[in-house]
């Protein structure tokens, strides 16, 4: 277990979730009779992490776990697959349980998700679109990606961050700013791509006051009218 403690001390929540995900995949493979090539494979490990909201490439960390800490060992490798086995799965499991007792892995996961959604990048992209004299077709495509993909993830993380009071106030503030900027950008496109007049609360269709609804709902409704078949952003 001392080796596991060393890994967790150096690599923190990244190591915790990669090892935990690998253990869960290994247990699922054994239960389903799929553990023929090893305990876990790269693809299943990444999918498990994504199911927890963790967008992370574990390749480098797996290399460290194998070469430096001898916690896992490659048993099969081909052009499109790679499988590992745990050298001592029980010791890894005990080490993770000990770490869980010492801290709050759910909050650590939230911190990883906040970094992964990269709300600063979203704010910068939306600011760039709004700063143009006329939006381009590529701006429109990117805006729809932001609204229906990026902001959906931001809202999910935002809702979790609210449970920690003011601790993540910086992220919460930036998430709200991203939603407001996205709403303005959608109205810009509905106005034919021309720059909007700086009149707060005025929409792009004849100066009618906007309906006082949450930013995600307004945003989803506006973009949905121009994106046939697109899914609604849910809060």
Q: Is 181 inside any structural domain?
A: yes
| pLDDT, position 147 | 94
Please indicate, yes or no, whether the overall pTM of this predicted structure exceeds 0.85: no
Residues 150 and 73 in one domain: no
| pLDDT, position 224 | 45
Q: Is 234 inside any structural domain?
A: no
Residues 17 and 44 in one domain: yes
Q: What is the pLDDT along the chain (235 residues), one digit of tens a residue?
A: 589 999 988 888 889 899 999 999 999 999 888 767 899 999 999 999 998 878 889 999 999 999 999 999 999 999 999 999 999 999 999 999 887 767 677 787 888 899 899 999 999 999 999 998 888 889 999 999 999 999 999 999 999 999 877 778 899 999 999 999 999 999 888 876 554 433 344 333 333 333 334 444 444 444 444 443 433 333 2
DSSP reduced 3-state for 99: helix
Residues 151 and 213 in one domain: yes
| pLDDT, position 204 | 35
Residues 25 and 115 in one domain: no
| pLDDT, position 196 | 41
| pLDDT, position 213 | 41
Residues 116 and 214 in one domain: yes
Residues 210 and 178 in one domain: yes
Q: Which of 57, 86, 102 is the last residue of a domain?
A: 102
Residues 73 and 169 in one domain: no
Q: Is 230 inside any structural domain?
A: no
Q: Which of 73, 102, 131 is the last residue of a domain?
A: 102
Residues 74 and 114 in one domain: no
Domain hosting residue 142, numbered range? 105-224
SS (HEC) of 35-79: CCCCCEEHHHHHHHHHHCCCCCCCHHHHHHHHHCCCCEEEEEECC
Q: Report how far residue 98's alpha carbon sits from residue 96's, in angstroms, rounded to the nearest whole number.
A: 5
Which residues are 134's β-sheet partners? 194
Q: Is 229 inside any structural domain?
A: no
| pLDDT, position 135 | 82
Residues 115 and 206 in one domain: yes
Q: Which of 102, 132, 154 is the last residue of a domain?
A: 102
Residues 84 and 178 in one domain: no
| pLDDT, position 212 | 34
Residues 86 and 126 in one domain: no
Asked if 129 and 39 touch (Cβ cutoff 8 Å), the reply is: no
Residues 39 and 135 in one domain: no
Q: Is 219 inside any structural domain?
A: yes
Which residues are 25's β-sheet partners? none
Q: Is 232 inside any structural domain?
A: no
DSSP reduced 3-state for 202: strand
Number of domains in the chain: 2
């Amino acid at each position: 277990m001392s080796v596991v403690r060393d890994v967790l001390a150096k690599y923190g929540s990244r190591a915790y979730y990669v090892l935990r995900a690998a253990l869960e995949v290994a247990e699922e493979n054994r239960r389903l009779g799929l553990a023929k090539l090893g305990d876990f494979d790269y693809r299943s490990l990444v999918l498990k992490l994504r199911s927890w909201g963790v967008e992370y490439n574990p390749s480098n960390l797996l290399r460290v776990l194998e070469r430096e800490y001898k916690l896992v060992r490659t048993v099969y490798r081909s052009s499109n697959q790679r499988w590992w086995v745990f050298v001592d799965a029980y010791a890894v499991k005990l080490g993770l349980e000990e770490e869980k007792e010492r801290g709050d892995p759910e909050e650590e996961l939230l911190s990883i998700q906040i970094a992964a959604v990269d709300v600063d990048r979203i704010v910068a992209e939306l600011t760039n679109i709004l700063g143009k004299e006329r939006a381009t077709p590529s701006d429109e495509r990117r805006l729809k990606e932001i609204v229906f993909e990026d902001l959906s993830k931001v809202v999910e993380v935002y809702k979790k961050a609210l449970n920690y009071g003011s601790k993540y106030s910086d992220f919460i503030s930036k998430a709200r700013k991203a939603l407001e900027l996205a709403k303005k950008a959608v109205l810009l496109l509905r106005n034919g791509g021309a720059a909007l007049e700086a009149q707060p609360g005025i929409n792009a269709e004849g100066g009618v006051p906007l309906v006082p609804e949450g930013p995600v709902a307004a945003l989803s409704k506006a973009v949905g009218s121009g994106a046939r078949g697109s899914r609604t952003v849910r809060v």
